[in-house]
Amino acid sequence: MTMSFDVWAPIPDHGELVADGQTIALQPDPDNGWWRLPEEARDSIPAGAEYGYRLDHAEGLTPSPRSRWQPHGVHELSKAYDFDDFEWTDQKWTGRQLAGGVIYELHVGTFTEEGTLDAAIDKLDHLVELGIDFIELMPVNAFNGREGWGYDGACWFAVHEPYGGPAAYQRFVDACHGRGLAVIQDVVYNHLGPSGNYLPQYGPYLDDTVQSPWGSAINLTNPGSDQVRRYIIDNAVMWLRDYHVDGLRLDAVHALIDTTAIHVLEEMAVEVGALSTFLKRPLSLIAESDMNDPRLINPREAGGYGLTAQWSDDFHHALLANLTGDDTGYYADFATLDALGKVVETGFYHDGTKSSFRGRRHGRRLDTPTIPTWRLVICSDNHDQIGNRADGARLSNHQTPQQLKLAAMLTLLCAYTPMIFMGEEWGATTPFMFFSSHPEPELAEAVTKGRYEEFALMEWDTSLVPDPQAYSTFEASVLDWHERETAPQSEILAMYRQLIELRRTYPDLSDPRFEWISAAFDPEGHWFMMDRGAELSVAVNFDMEEARIDLEEHPEVLLQIGNVTVDGGAVVLGGHAGAVLLMTNSPPSGRVEGSARR
């Protein structure tokens, strides 16, 4: 695919391309706001040329809005990059459907000591042995500074140079496919980073009348929005087509303010569906949303947007609240076994119910007879839940190895699509803190001050909140791969491998039918039981004291955590997070029903 130097720029009255020292006047297309490179100049720009645009005779040059390569940073010249120069070896790769899969989320910069895509390739065999199907990369688009989470990207089409740039990204995807691993790329279409964003000089990319948590919203409805929407969808297509990526995780879609008849997410789903048909491999679109809105994943035939899946924070909140006893903030509604039972059985806890955190009704019920369970992605920890804690603490920083195994058992043996955050599989002790490296002093100070003020409102001792701009904050978040080799980390890793293998062994554990899931629990004894199909049940004890669950027949123990004994027709779970996977043909007697199907 050859490079195009045409640019959409309806705001300036004059445009020039400056490439490797030569200046070429662009030809305006008054009908649509595009500036075109003259036909006679299309072959005059050499491969690898560094280039930028001069708008309205400005003294300086601005990088390309669709730059594929920013080797010197987001404020500097773009560099021509041809995707076709890479020799792919994944011609036999036919893709992987999300159904039945296990996702592994990682941040390139802290996944290895080197913090590069090439270094990450060396860890892929570990993920294959673990049983992973999809690797989900946190954003890799170019952002200002060297270290960061990537959600403040300024150049959506360029791969962050410290990670290795576009060629390294192609090598990474190719290596994943060679090992049978699919790749999901986390993309951010709801805002642009505060530094390096030159798009408003070109066109009306932002809507200043609508404010998001990050400033002016992306223009999806006002004049010029057709091309802004095209910009978003072209970016999505680039990852899937040109980089051979298998799916996208769409960040915070609730911040995409779109009042048009066809939402940009539906528009994207239609186009990605057409691309999937052409490429003859499945392509997944996974929404991060806090709306609990089934329309995201309902098929278009039923009035939905037709996305593949969405994150379900309700599972995380219910699991964590019952595991840790935390009932503060948004955990308040989830700190009962009733809440966990409802989430396990129906997907959402808030499905039109009152949310005390929001002070209003929230969510809408899933159409469980028709929606398969795998359309919900769940986890016990992820980058947000860890990094948004003041100290970046993981579950493993505060919970016992036995509690971590219990959380893994419920997550990996539940009916939904499980996701693991990097290092979770061995109970990594390294935190994952919020970090940035803005070189502008004013912006750096504002980020640090904002972080401190945020947690001061939560009555945290701000002296305990790491400075996001300090290199030590980033450095402390890098995984320590050596610790997985010794107990208890090695034992946790063995448990994760075993749990994922069980998903491959017993069809009931990946069965996507909601009607094959049921929950039982005892609020006083603090035991919880999740039935998977006709034969398998997962029983856990959240209490410090042992719990007894009476069954109608003698069960077979397939996997256990802590002290577990079978006494005739009963199973006894030890305190401090005893758990067991049972093969049984009967529910517990004296079963306490959850509220999910009331």
Q: What digits encode the pLDDT tens for the residues 113-152?
A: 999 999 999 999 999 999 999 999 999 999 999 999 999 9
pLDDT band at 588 (very low <50, low <70, confident <90, very high): low
pLDDT band at 329 (very low <50, low <70, confident <90, very high): confident
First to last CA, the chain: 56
Higher pLDDT, 216 or 146: 146
Q: Which two structure tokens, joined as six digits, stand for 394?
A: 């993981």
Region 7-26: mean pLDDT is 95
**pLDDT value at residue 587:** 53
CA distance 388 to 240: 30
User: Residue holding tokens 């004296």?
Assistant: 590
> Does the structure show a pLDDT above 80 at 591?
no
Cα→Cα distances 19→9, 79, 142, 321, Å = 18, 9, 21, 57
How do beta strands 78-79 and 376-378 pair? Answer: unpaired
The tens digit of pLDDT for each residue in 470-493 reads 999 999 999 999 999 999 999 999
**pLDDT value at residue 568:** 81
What is residue 370's DSSP assignment? T
Return the ∠ at Cα 571 (arms to 565 and 576), rounded to 5°.
Answer: 70
**pLDDT value at residue 455:** 85
Domain ranges of the chain: 7-62, 517-583
Minimum mean pLDDT range among 140-144, 159-163, 472-476, 549-553? 549-553
Please, what is the average pLDDT of the chain?
Answer: 93
The tens digit of pLDDT for each residue in 406-443 reads 999 999 999 999 999 999 999 999 999 999 999 999 99
Return the ∠ at Cα 350 (arms to 133 and 297), rounded to 5°.
Answer: 45
Written as one letter, the residue type at 216 is: S
CA distance 490 to 544: 25
Enclosing H/E stretch for 125: helix 124-130
HSE-CB of 380 using CA atoms within 13 angstroms: 28
CA distance 110 to 480: 10
> Does the structure show a pLDDT above 50 at 559?
yes
User: Residue holding tokens 């792919």?
Assistant: 88
> What is the edge-to-edge ordering of all strands in the sheet holding 527-532?
517-522, 527-532, 536-541, 579-583, 556-561
Higher pLDDT, 146 or 598: 146
Phi, psi dihedrals of residue 308, rounded to the nearest 5°? -75, -45
Enclosing H/E stretch for 172: helix 165-178
**pLDDT value at residue 598:** 37
The tens digit of pLDDT for each residue in 502-515 reads 999 999 999 999 99
Of the chain, the percentage scoring pLDDT greater than 90 comes to 84
What is residue 551's DSSP assignment? B
CA distance 103 to 379: 10
**Which residues fall within 8 angstroms of residue 82, CB to CB, at 6 or more apart?**
1, 2, 3, 47
CB 319 within 8 A of CB 411: yes
**pLDDT value at residue 452:** 87
How remote is the C-alpha of 571 from its chain's centroid? 37
CA distance 402 to 596: 28
Q: Which residues are identified as catalytic? A: 251, 288
Q: What is the pTM of this model?
A: 0.96
CA distance 41 to 339: 64
Q: Which two structure tokens, joined as six digits, stand for 403?
A: 């509690």
User: Residue holding tokens 């590069």?
Assistant: 116
SS3 at position 294: helix
**pLDDT value at residue 70:** 97
> Does the structure show a pLDDT above 50 at 547?
yes
**pLDDT value at residue 54:** 97
CA distance 546 to 24: 78
What is residue 112's DSSP assignment? S
DSSP characters over 255-293:
G----SSS-HHHHHHHHHHHHHHHHTS--EEEE--SS--
> Does the structure show a pLDDT above 70 at 594?
no
CA distance 51 to 20: 6
CA distance 204 to 207: 7
**Which residues fall within 8 angstroms of residue 3, CB to CB, at 6 or more apart?**
45, 68, 80, 81, 82
CA distance 220 to 229: 6
Higher pLDDT, 362 or 552: 362
CA distance 501 to 106: 21
For residue 344, the cross-strand partners are none
CA distance 229 to 464: 42
CA distance 407 to 412: 9
Region 270-274: mean pLDDT is 98
Region 565-584: mean pLDDT is 89
**pLDDT value at residue 456:** 81
**pLDDT value at residue 585:** 66
pLDDT band at 230 (very low <50, low <70, confident <90, very high): very high
CA distance 571 to 567: 6
CB 399 within 8 A of CB 408: no
> Does the structure show a pLDDT above 50 at 68?
yes
Please give the CATH superfamily to which domain 517-583 belongs: Golgi alpha-mannosidase II (2.60.40.1180)
Cα Rg for the chain, rounded, in angstroms?
A: 25
Higher pLDDT, 594 or 484: 484
The tens digit of pLDDT for each residue in 283-326 reads 999 999 999 999 999 999 999 999 999 999 999 999 999 999 99
Region 65-72: mean pLDDT is 97
What is the three-state SS of 407-435?
A: HHHHHHCCCCEEEEECCHHHCCCCCCCCC
**pLDDT value at residue 596:** 45
Cα→Cα distances 419→1, 101, 370, 414, 518, Å = 34, 9, 23, 11, 22
Of the chain, the percentage scoring pLDDT greater than 70 comes to 97
Region 564-591: mean pLDDT is 80
User: Residue holding tokens 């320590």?
Assistant: 480
Q: Which two structure tokens, joined as six digits, stand for 430?
A: 């390294």
Return the ∠ at Cα 473 (arms to 418 and 476), rounded to 5°.
Answer: 65
Q: Which two structure tokens, joined as six digits, stand for 170?
A: 């192609």
> Does the structure show a pLDDT above 50 at 593?
no
Cα→Cα distances 95→134, 183, 283, Å = 10, 9, 8
> Does the structure show a pLDDT above 60 at 592?
no
